[in-house]
C-alpha cells in the first residue's frame, strides 16, 4: 500500500462517500481523489464543505436521514451518468450514542437506527440504478460492533449487526447483476465520532435515576475509559481511509475486511468461542478500566 500524497492520473469515474466531514470519511475521500477518482464528499454543513473541498473532491450537502438531500445527490450523480460512471458508494456516515438498554431513551434508539441503518439503505436505493448500469461497488462501513455487542452498545451494535445482515442480503441479490457489496469492520480508529459518543453518554448518565446510578455508574465509567483508551491507541484515520479505498480499487475484493489489530482479533475469537467464553473475555478486558475503590 502506497502512502504517497502525489495525485495519480484522473479516472473517468465517480465515488460517493457519505459522512466525509471528518475522520475515516474525509480520509477516504482524500485517498480516492489522490488515486484519480472524482469524489462526491457527503457533508452536513457548508463549513464542512469548505474544509473538505479540494482537487477532485466535490462536497455535496448530504444528511442521509433527509430525503431531499438524498434526492439531490442522486440527481448530481445522474448529471454525469453519460460521461462519468459511478464506480462506488461508501456508506460511512454514522453516530454512536451508548448507554445501558434500560437507560437509553427510545428516541435515541430510533436516531441511531435512522443514521446507522436506514440512512444507508436510503442512499443505496437512490444510487443503485447507476451502480447496476456501471457494475459498480457498494462499501458498507459497519464496525467490530457489528459482530460483538459490548455492554452499553446495544443500540449502536444493533444497527451495525443489522447493516451486516442487509449487506449480506444485498450482496446475494446484486451478484447476478455484477454489483459487488463489501463490508468493512473497523475497530478502534482515532476519529472525532468516538469523542462525541463519550460526551453524549456522559450527558445521558446525568439523567439516570438514583437506582440506575447504583446499577450502572461503574459500568459506564469503565466503558467510557476503555473507549477513550481504544481511541488513543487506535488506527489513524488516514490508514483506515487507505484501507477503505483499497476495497474499491482491488479487482476481486473479499466480502469482509477488518481495520485494526483489535478488530481482527475480536472478530476471529468470536467465531470460535462460546457466548459464555466471549462474555468472560470481554469482562476481563473491561475490568482494568473500572475506577479503583
Domain segments of the chain: what residues?
13-289
* Residue 43 confidence (pLDDT) above 90: yes
Phi, psi dihedral angles at 91 (to 5 degrees): -85, 90
8 A C-beta contact, residue 171 and residue 255: yes
* Residue 253 confidence (pLDDT) above 60: yes
> pLDDT digits over 108-159, tens only?
999 999 999 999 999 999 999 999 999 999 999 999 999 999 999 999 999 9
Beta strands at 13-17 and 256-259: parallel, antiparallel or unpaired:
unpaired
Domain 13-289 in CATH: superfamily? Answer: NAD(P)-binding Rossmann-like Domain (3.40.50.720)
CA-CA-CA-CA torsion sign (230, 280, 161, 222): negative
Spatial separation of the C-alpha atoms in residues 94 and 99, rounded to whole Å: 17
pLDDT of residue 191: 67
pLDDT of residue 262: 86
Phi-psi region of 260 (alpha: psi -120 to 50; beta: other; left: phi over 0): left
pTM value is 0.92
8 A C-beta contact, residue 97 and residue 201: yes
> pLDDT digits over 176-226, tens only?
999 999 999 998 887 666 666 677 777 788 889 999 999 999 999 999 888
Would you place residue 229 in the very low, low, confident or very high pLDDT band (cuts 50, 70, 90)?
confident
Active site residues: 156
The Cα diameter of the chain in Å comes to 66
> pLDDT digits over 173-190, tens only?
999 999 999 999 998 887
Amino acid at each position: 500500500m502506497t502512502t504517497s500524497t502525489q495525485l495519480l492520473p484522473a479516472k473517468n469515474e465517480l465515488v460517493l462517500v457519505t459522512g466525509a466531514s471528518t475522520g475515516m470519511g474525509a480520509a477516504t475521500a482524500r485517498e480516492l481523489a489522490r488515486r484519480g477518482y472524482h469524489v462526491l464528499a457527503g457533508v452536513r454543513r457548508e463549513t464542512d464543505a469548505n474544509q473538505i473541498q479540494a482537487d477532485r473532491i466535490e462536497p455535496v450537502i448530504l444528511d442521509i436521514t433527509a430525503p431531499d438531500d438524498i434526492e439531490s445527490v442522486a440527481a448530481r450523480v445522474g448529471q454525469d451518468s453519460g460521461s462519468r460512471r459511478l464506480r462506488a458508494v461508501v456508506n460511512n456516515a454514522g453516530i454512536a450514542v451508548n448507554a445501558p438498554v434500560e437507560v437509553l431513551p427510545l428516541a435515541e434508539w430510533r436516531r441511531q437506527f435512522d443514521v446507522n441503518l436506514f440512512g444507508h439503505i436510503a442512499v443505496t436505493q437512490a444510487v443503485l440504478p447507476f451502480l447496476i448500469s456501471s457494475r459498480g461497488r457498494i462499501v458498507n462501513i459497519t464496525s467490530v460492533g457489528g459482530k460483538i455487542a459490548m455492554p452499553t452498545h446495544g443500540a449502536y451494535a444493533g444497527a451495525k449487526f443489522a447493516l451486516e445482515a442487509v449487506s449480506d442480503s444485498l450482496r446475494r441479490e446484486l451478484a447476478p447483476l455484477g454489483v459487488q457489496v463489501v463490508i468493512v469492520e473497523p475497530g478502534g480508529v482515532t476519529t472525532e465520532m468516538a469523542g462525541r459518543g463519550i460526551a453524549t453518554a456522559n450527558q445521558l448518565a446525568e439523567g439516570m435515576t438514583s437506582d440506575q446510578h447504583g446499577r450502572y455508574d461503574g459500568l459506564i465509567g469503565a466503558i467510557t475509559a476503555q473507549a477513550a483508551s481504544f481511541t488513543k491507541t487506535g488506527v489513524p484515520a488516514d490508514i483506515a481511509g487507505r484501507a477503505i479505498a483499497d476495497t474499491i480499487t482491488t479487482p476481486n475484493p473479499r466480502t469482509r475486511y477488518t481495520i485494526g489489530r483489535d478488530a481482527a482479533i475480536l472478530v476471529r475469537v468470536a467465531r470460535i468461542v462460546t457466548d459464555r467464553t466471549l462474555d468472560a473475555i470481554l469482562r476481563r478486558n473491561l475490568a482494568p478500566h473500572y475506577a479503583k475503590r
